[in-house]
A and B are shown apart, each in its own frame.
Chain A
């Protein structure tokens, strides 16, 4: 991989980490707000009217940042119709076609975002303690997610084109995070130990 591609990959990986961090913060925020709603309703006897609206808005941000993160891990589900084909180049062409479709789709969406965004900007949130224009919850996360996915697909496309002679498909920008293997191994050892006892 050339230095240019390496730099782009690093930049996309950093963006992916930011998306992951944002999504984790949103998940924690959801736990905190919904948990506090239950607590407030049963313990304090005062339901929090803004929780449902805030949580629903957070879900939109979670959806698009998580989708962009999943794209960097190449985890969006595709049906491996041609999994059995032996031609590496044909497989790579299929990957490249997929990336072109993603870029085209993202461009169509981004091209049509300004209109709805202007309309959404005229109204604000209803139940939240502060008034926030609604485009911050609808068009903005959609646009950011689409730009991120388009940039990732563009990287995959250009890298794939460069690798056409070898037929090697571009790998994911990001791999798995955290401690996976150890957890499973310890769990099974523990389970079998108890069983033997």
Chain B
């Protein structure tokens, strides 16, 4: 039976609002029943073993680290430090928003957690300072996607496990694009404020003592990303072990700051459990789904089709980009990764595109996709947080797509832009 039936069933179930993980699992099981070549026992044989992976453990650990830090009273300190650092620049709290997101990105690996956690704080502060709700939500959505680009990153872990590349190299490759994305977002905020397109109140330039005070208050929080990246660079521990160490560090910080009530700890852990349940079930059903795709030789067919269109790796990358961006706008990122990576990876090998470079291209496409209508997840979170309508939010987002796509273009056109840092450390 043609493999198109699998995708047809999956597509119909997704459109009929069946949760994606179950749509993926059910379409795989029904396809196997209809095809008859293999029994659905294959699903059972691959679902649980699909989770039997030590590198995958980094996912719950980095999710837990993000939630623990969110509840440890660290977000406020980071926000205050960023405020004294860049709050006086034209654009005011919008710059603070971006800088705080970059710092927080170094501790948390999920854009949705950044948007819903720190993002909620940022939007409230910006609204209080006189920014409009749509603009506050838009810059928060744009800056939240730095989270999965700067290490740690849950979708990078997922890509690395599926493509069998080093998680550490993926993390290192994301540093430069993430930082440049932050800088370009700040440049856009500055331009919008300069041309009067936004009303952006600024605070007074912080004195050196107040900057020092804010720095000292935020220092323990700032040490988490420094320790994480340092640990990766020095090869002190595996990314999974570093995830556990960051969690232990966050627990200690919360205890030192006396922020951890039983209620907050329970909130942090229950949010982690929910996020893990959503992602890990997707991985569990995605493994047999990917297996069906592979045994039906779809990656080979897909490669041949794309290569017949063009032999130029750049054109192929651009075509894949387009597909991933569209997929990112209508689907969940982990689900896309689970379907797309097994299909695209053989093609990347044929075209001799570096797997780490390709990984960053995939991650960037997917995270930009979650900020685009009609179903970008971050848009829905920000609509809820800032109480704005989709149309208002998307209009306010439009200028920020320019820096986001500019970074994507840089990454596609100049592989060294992503590979520079990993190569410095022996990749």
| A interface, CB within 8 angstroms of B | 20, 23-24, 27, 30-31, 34-35, 37-38, 52, 55-57, 59-60, 62-71, 73, 75-82, 94-95, 97-98, 101-102, 104-105, 108-109, 111-113, 115-116, 137-139, 141-142, 176-180, 182-184, 186-188, 190-192, 194-195, 197
Contact = CB atoms under 8 A, between A and B. Distances in A.
Taking each of B125, B247, B269, B274, which has the highest tally of chain A beta carbons within 10 Å of its own beta carbon?
B274
Nearest to A104: B26
B13 interface: yes
A14 B33 CA distance: 35
A137 B43 CA distance: 16
Contact of B71 (A66, A139, A183): A183
Given A79-B15, A101-B26, 5 more contacts: A59-B60, A80-B375, A105-B25, A177-B266, A178-B264
Interface in B56-90: 56-57, 60-61, 64, 70-71, 73, 75-77, 79-80, 83-84, 87
Contacts, number: 265
A178 B128 contact: no
A62 B20 contact: no
A97 B239 CA distance: 41
Contacts of B128: 192
A16 to B, nearest CB: 10
Interface residues of B, number: 91
A24 B269 contact: yes
20 contacts: A20-B273, A27-B60, A31-B61, A34-B241, A55-B57, A56-B53, A59-B53, A64-B280, A66-B281, A109-B44, A112-B43, A113-B44, A178-B263, A179-B261, A179-B263, A184-B121, A186-B73, A188-B76, A190-B80, A195-B84
B267 A115 contact: no
B273 A30 contact: no
A109 to B, nearest CB: 6
Contact of B76 (A68, A179, A187): A187
Nearest to A76: B19
Contacts of A27: 60, 64, 269, 272-273
Contacts of A195: 80, 83-84, 87, 203
Contacts of B332: 77, 79
B281 A76 contact: yes
Contacts of A183: 70-71, 73, 259, 264, 267
Contacts of B305: none
Interface string B15-48: 1111111110110010001000001110111011
A64 B277 CA distance: 7
Nearest to B214: A194
Contacts of B331: 79
Nearest to A117: B44
A23 B275 CA distance: 12
Contacts of B203: 195
